[in-house]
Structure 1
Amino acid sequence: MIELLMEPRWSPYIAGAGIGILLWFSFLFSNKPLGCSTAFSRISGMIESILSGEKVRNKEYFKLFPPEVDWQVMLIVGIVCGSFISSFISGTFHFSFIPDTFELNISDNILIRFIFALTGGILMGLGARWSRGCTSGHGISGLSQLSLASLVAVMGFFIAGIFTATIIFSL
């Protein structure tokens, strides 16, 4: 079993089963779907409250989703820590500001990489809020509940991803 954890790439079937089990526990203990976009919004609200005080809690959005640490925020912490531990144990950990594929196909300039990452992050954040959930929320939790809205959202994610990749990698 320990050898499995030391592999650089895990079986998608085992990882998928693990995510499915995590989804069961998410509904069992919190009665909420598995996803990350709300947690990122909560974190931004916590940062905003540090900068501008408690008036953040009076905003309509933060009345529904208070800027506080909950289990979904801790899930993000766990994803980051787990990714680090996994890459360290498997011997694949290294710092990289520009991924090899980006450098090969687009540019080795760190400013261009930053602009792409920032633009992509902003668009993904807006898309997640607009579709009322992130890709993991719709793709894992929404589809497991047979949500038609999630099916449409996931189809949109794939179409947009294919379209964007086609444009970027044909430049």
Structure 2
Amino acid sequence: MKLEARYRPYLFGALSGLLLTASAGIAGQFFGTSTTFPRAASLFVQMFGVDLSQIEFYAVREGTFTAAVFPNWQLLFVLGIGVGAFLSARLSGSFATEKLPPMWVERFGSKTSTRVWFSLAGGVLAMIGARMAGGCPSGHGVSGVSQLGVSSLIAVAMFFIGGIVTARLLYGRSTQTEKGGEV
């Protein structure tokens, strides 16, 4: 059975909702990914013998941000997102490698190192923002909004506004849009 492209968002949205409901009902866990990264960072730092117990951030919620809880469902969820995306792209035939996106090259040039530094800086800023917001876009956007959480509705609005502002600052008005292409 081949599903028309216009129906796919509805089907996969409904399936995501059912999966979230099952996860919350069976395991008592809502979707989210951002807490995995401070946990992984604390594991990495602890491997070098650094004692994090004196840092307030790692004492919050009885140490839930430390590596002591690894491995856990959230780590598997994060890994599953990457593996699932890869498998989906391979199975659908849409997998492609691309050194740098054309829109990036047009605006910033073809140096891969520039893209790496922008990506690292953006990732750090995004993670700081996610921790300040008390969760990531998947946590707030899927789990929080499904519970009609006011803080999640505000966070999702801010994520969108931040993304739009950042895209405008980095790219200005896209020439691909003006040429009739997709952004």
SS of aligned partner of 1:11: helix
Is the 8 Å Cα contact of residues 34 and 137 (structure 1) preserved in structure 2?
A: yes
Superimposed CA distance per residue, residues 29-86 of structure 1 (whole angstroms, 9 cap, x where no aligned partner): 2222201001222222222222226x34663147133411111100111111111111
> Any unmatched runs of 5+ in structure 1?
none
Superimposed CA distance per residue, residues 61-115 of structure 1 (whole angstroms, 9 cap, x where no aligned partner): 4713341111110011111111111111122223334223322333221111011
Aligned residues: CA RMSD: 2.5
Closer/same/farther in 2, CA of residues 154 and 91 from structure 1, 3 Å limit: same
Structure with the higher fraction of residues in helix conformation:
1
2:34 to 37, 42, 45: 37
Closer/same/farther in 2, CA of residues 162 and 15 from structure 1, 3 Å limit: same
Is the 8 Å Cα contact of residues 38 and 66 (structure 2) preserved in structure 1?
A: no
> Any unmatched runs of 5+ in structure 2?
174-183
Closer/same/farther in 2, CA of residues 14 and 64 from structure 1, 3 Å limit: same
Question: Structure 1 vs Structure 2: percent identity of aligned residues?
Answer: 36
Q: Which has the higher Rg, Structure 1 or Structure 2?
A: 2
Aligned residues: 167
Measure, in 2, the Cα distance between the counterparts of 1:10 and 1:166: 30
Is the 8 Å Cα contact of residues 39 and 65 (structure 2) preserved in structure 1?
A: yes
Q: Structure 2-normalised TM-score?
A: 0.80
Pairing of 1:73-92 with structure 2 (within 5 A): 73-92=75-94
Closer/same/farther in 2, CA of residues 29 and 101 from structure 1, 3 Å limit: farther
User: Higher relative CO (CA 8 A, sep ≥ 6), structure 1 or 2?
Assistant: 1
